[in-house]
Amino acid sequence: MIDQQSVEPFFDIPFTSLSSFILLMSSLTMVLAHKSVSEGNYKNLRIWLSATLLLGGTFMAGQVYEFTVFYREGLTYNGSLFGTAFYTLTGFHGAHVTGGLIMLGSLIFLSFKGKMQKDRAETVELVGLYWHFVDIVWVLIFTIVYLIP
């Protein structure tokens, strides 16, 4: 039976730290996107939104890679209490990130259509708040699940 003690040796902390860095970076690009639309700089808006989408997508790719490795190592959803807790917690977070990516994609699409002007800055801010919420939850998960044995 696989529990937390036996899964820790194959926790790849440097890899997950890089994922955390990427997600934190995406919060920065998100606030810069909001600042750009508030100032009426639509070119920068698209650049920062695309950067956020790319960073979020990279984080998700890392998550999928990590799940694949753990599953191959024998950590299944039903195999242990730790497996169930781990996949539920990180899986729900991943689902929220995916939701955020869809929202970001929609904002970029609307921006290219010319429908994301200065008067819609609040829409970008709301998506940003959601994105930071996803980031803040990862701050907790990273420390409690990965760093604390």
Partner 1 sequence: MATTTTDHTIDAHDDHEHHPSTRTYWLTFLALLILTAVEVAWSYLGLSGVALVVPLLAMMVVKFLIVGGVFMHLQTDMKVLNGYWFTLVFGTATVLAVGVYLIVFAAFRFDI
**CA nearest neighbour of 90 among 63, 57, 61, 53:** 63
The residues of the shown chain that bind partner 1, judged by CB under 8 A, are 13-14, 17, 20-21, 24-25, 27-28, 30-32, 35, 38-39, 118-119, 121, 128-129, 132-133, 135-136, 139-140, 142-144, 147-149
- Report the Cα–Cα distance between both ends of the chain, in Å, rounded: 18
Least separation in angstroms between CB 131 and partner 1:
9
φ, ψ for residue 88, nearest 5 deg:
-65, -50
Nearer residue to partner 1 within complex by CB, 39 or 73 = 39
Residue 100, burial from CB neighbour count under 10 angstroms (0-12, 13-18, 19+): buried
Nearer residue to partner 1 within complex by CB, 9 or 14 = 14
Nearer residue to partner 1 within complex by CB, 74 or 96 = 96
Least separation in angstroms between CB 112 and partner 1:
23
102/86 Cα distance (integer angstroms):
24
Least separation in angstroms between CB 16 and partner 1:
9
Nearer residue to partner 1 within complex by CB, 110 or 141 = 141
Contacts of residue 48, Cβ cutoff 8 Å, sequence gap at least 6: 29, 30, 32, 33, 36
Least separation in angstroms between CB 139 and partner 1:
5
Owner of token pair 């970008």:
124
